[in-house]
Amino acid sequence: MSSSSFEEELRQQVEQERLINQVTTLIRQSLELPVILETAVQEVRKLLKADRLIIYQFNISAPACPVDFDQPTTAVPITVPQLDGITYESRAHDRIPSVLNLIADGWQLPATELRNKYQSGQSCSITDTSNSANTSVYFLPLGSDSVRSELATPILVQGHLWGLLIAHQCEQPRQWREQDCNCLERLADNLAIAIHQANLYAELQCQKDTLEQQVIERTQNLRDALYAAQSADQAKSEFLATMSHELRTPLTCVIGMAATLLRQTPETPLPSEKQKAYLQIIRDRGEHLLSLINDMLELSRLETGRTILNVREFSLVDLASQTLRQVQDQAQKKQITLFLKCANGANGEKTPRFLADPRRVQQILINLLSNAVKFTPAGGTVTLRVWQVADTATLQVEDTGIGIPEDQHPLLFQKFQQLDPSYRRHYEGTGLGLALTKQLVELHDGSISVASKVGEGSTFTVQLPSQVRSALDYVRSQEQPLPLLHQRILLLESNEEMAHVVCDLLNPAEYQVVWMTEIDLALQNFQILQPHGVIVSGSLLPEFWTGLTQQNEAIPPLLVIWSGDGDRPIADLSLMGLSTDVLVQPISQPDAFIDRVASLIARE
């Protein structure tokens, strides 16, 4: 080897090392993959003195296509194709045709053997495409005049064939040297590191964006929770202020009137008219307090699920007339005229029958009518409309009162809300009436809505679906009553309110209910009682079950009253072939409860 050849080879090695170091430094300093690939392609082409150097990439996601929304859509899922193509290019001069962004459309890497060879990390070269017998290596669709010589090196990222680094001589053949191949392979290895690093960074950015979004959402949730807590605290303060006024004012009046009556003496008696007026005030204030307390207790029972419907058939028209008479005195004091408008039933009858809880329906009407009279100025009118279509009853109360601003409609059915605090100086009340009304309507699976305009009045519309008749009411409605059951049921329940509900439902249905709260006492008397069925609280079931099995008693059908917390308590019992059923609190429909008890005992 001559000294000039040696020097040239040494110079090329130095340039090669300089290029590799430059790419390595760029990889360390930058995470911008396009910059790294573009720089590498430019510098390597110059080092190899090639006419063209390209990066051929596999599995490029196809660009998004515009969607024509006027065309009918199909249920066929859309798949995004993965294409192959040239993504980076460097040319020695403009006379060399560009193949940048050339996408493989109908042509692929031709030979499976060649792809496998690339997958294993081997490079492939062609000295002269016009004389090469292995034309499968040359896969660009340009013809022999466009590419005369080619050197291709695979880029393997974590063992997967990501793409190819390809050098072209376009105008004349070239014998590729081992140094050229080594240079391309070393560069491909460094590019693989850069690509993997960029992929990891992209995943990290995606996780960062997801985490940031979660932080934003969590922050918003915390803000909402804080706002809700502040609103609840404000509502509590307003409630305490309202209750202080609503309780203290009538109590002060009652105590004052009672003290005045007690201070009179036989020598200085009060006139009888004044005594009667004082007693009337005491009675009115007492009734107001009783109504307030009843509303609070009723709302509490509704929210805790302890209220059940006593469904029976009644006349909507008769109920509406009776309710209107109850508020007649309140309306007369303000010179308000009451109207009742009723439509005929579906079959033309003037008093259509309806299935619901009449006491609850009347409570709904009283609340709406009392509110209408309260907020209607003297000389106004209040109209109650009642009609029934199929199995749905509509109750509508319309007044000519002060009206409700539209932006305050969402607050209407919230507890302890009077829409304008200044109203409390003019209209007494705690703001429980409409909240209680909404709960009673929803207990019937119904709906309530309002239409109102300030200064013109309001219209409240309630729609109630017909309820399912209870088993007990069905028995009572028959001309020939069903035979008495006389079946004994052992009730094990520590909750007194729940026990009273069960007894009140089953005793009228001719069941003999024996209520016990202590497991030991129940086990001692189990043989004497010989119950046809046992209704047991979920919390008492494990101890009761253990005691029965130890006594080797025959186990009757079990109905477990479950609070809904924890696992369902009878999975193991059902597997043993025992007759069991679970009733999740609350008992909201008497008919379903009685039917389930009867069905369970029938399995005995």
Q: Please write the tens of the pLDDT for every residue from 45-59.
A: 888 888 999 999 888
pLDDT at 229 over 80: yes
Asked if residue 505 has pLDDT above 70, the reply is yes
- Residue 195 backbone class (left: φ over 0; alpha: ψ -120 to 50; beta: rest): alpha
Q: Per residue in 164-195, pLDDT tens?
A: 999 999 888 889 988 888 888 888 888 898 88
Q: Residue 563 pLDDT > 70, yes or no?
A: no
Q: Two tokens at 546?
A: 């253990």
Statement: residue 15 has pLDDT above 90: no
Write down the pLDDT at residue 476. Answer: 44
- In angstroms, what CA-CA distances link 479 with 314, 408, 411, 595, 598? 18, 52, 49, 20, 21
Task: List Cα–Cα distances, 267 to 57, 264, 276, 279, 539, in angstroms.
Answer: 116, 8, 19, 20, 67
pLDDT higher than threshold 80 for residue 61: no
Distance CA 351, CA 353 (A): 6
In the chain, % of residues over pLDDT 90: 15
What's the pLDDT score for residue 1? 55
Q: Give the span between the Cα atoms of 464 and 265, in whole angstroms.
A: 57
- Which of 119-133, 335-349, 396-410 bottoms out in mean pLDDT, i.e. has the lowest? 335-349
What is the rounded average pLDDT of the residues 141-165?
A: 81
Top pLDDT among 534 and 297 is at: 534
**pLDDT, position 471:** 46
Residue 122, token pair as written in the block: 């081997």
Place of tokens 């049921």: 489
pLDDT of 111 over the 80 cut: no
- Which tens digit of pLDDT belongs to each residue from 441-488? 988 889 999 999 888 899 999 999 998 765 445 444 443 433 434 588
Lowest mean pLDDT: which of 273-287, 294-308, 566-580? 566-580
% of residues, the chain, pLDDT over 70: 78
Q: Is the pLDDT of residue 68 over 50?
A: no
The pLDDT value recorded for residue 602 is 75
Roughly what angle, to the nearest 10 degrees, separates helices 433-443 and 358-374?
150
pLDDT of amino acid 156? 93
Query: Who wins on pLDDT, 275 or 4?
Result: 275
pLDDT at position 294 is 76
Which secondary-structure segment (H or E) carries 342? strand 337-342
Q: Write down the pLDDT at residue 478.
A: 45
Residue 350 pLDDT level (bands cut at 50, 70, 90):
low
CA distance 215 to 212: 5
- Residue 418 banded pLDDT, cuts 50, 70, 90: low
> Does residue 262 carry a pLDDT above 60?
yes
CA dist 339 and 372 (Å) reads 12
Give residue 416's pLDDT band: very low, low, confident or very high (50, 70, 90): low
Residues 302-321 have pLDDT tens digits of 766 666 777 888 889 989 99
Q: What angle do CA 96, 99, 104 make, to 5 degrees?
A: 150
At 420, the pLDDT band (50, 70, 90 cuts) reads low
Q: What is the pLDDT averaged over residues 125-145? A: 60
481 DSSP assignment: P
Pairing of strands 337-342, 381-389: parallel
Please report the beta strands in 390-483, taking only residues with DSSP state E, as ranges in sequence order: 392-399, 447-453, 457-465
Q: Is the peptide bond before 586 cis (omega within 30 degrees of 0)?
A: yes
Average pLDDT, rounded, for the chain: 78
Name, of 113-117, 268-272, 283-287, 354-358, the range with top average pLDDT. Answer: 354-358
Using a cut of 0.85, tell me whether the model's pTM lies above it: no
How much is the average pLDDT of 403-408? Answer: 84
**Residues in a beta bridge with 151:** 125, 167
Highest mean pLDDT range out of 36-40, 165-169, 228-232? Answer: 165-169
